Amino acid sequence: MHFVVVFNLTRFARDKYDHFALRSLLQSLGISLRSATEPIDDTSTGKLMEGVLAAFAQFDNDCRSDRTRAGMKAALELGRWVFLAPLGYLNAPRAIGKSLMPDPERAPLVRRAFESTRPGASPRNRSSSSQGPGA
């Protein structure tokens, strides 16, 4: 193999350090990197262009990450749950206006587990509920 061809450098690596580590590995194997949409090659100009494009790929990825975090923070401040739902809940569709809704299958099991371990729960209830459903 003489070349690895990517559509563009943003598809090769999102971090410039990863880009150059992979590029170095390929080079040690005698393999050149090429882009179908960008003017990179093994000339001095091609290498400069590759470095600039790798830096812009990381910049673009960093900007997307910043916007995502800002959006998640704003949603949390509005009371929306933006993560995977905890056990006993499901992530609700936006149309219903809530972030979480009880999981009809697991919520009763989670509730029963918490109730059986609360202070004042009798040991008898704890042992019977620990044997599983239908015990």
pLDDT in tens, the chain (135 residues): 899 999 988 888 888 999 999 999 999 999 999 999 999 988 999 999 999 999 999 999 999 999 999 999 998 998 888 899 999 999 988 878 788 999 999 999 999 988 888 887 666 555 444 555 554
Domain ranges, ordered by start, for the chain:
3-77, 89-129
Nearest 10 degrees: Cα torsion 9, 14, 17, 19: -30
Q: Are the CB atoms for 8 and 38 separated by under 8 Å?
A: yes
Task: Give kind and range of the element (H or E) at residue 102.
Answer: strand 100-102
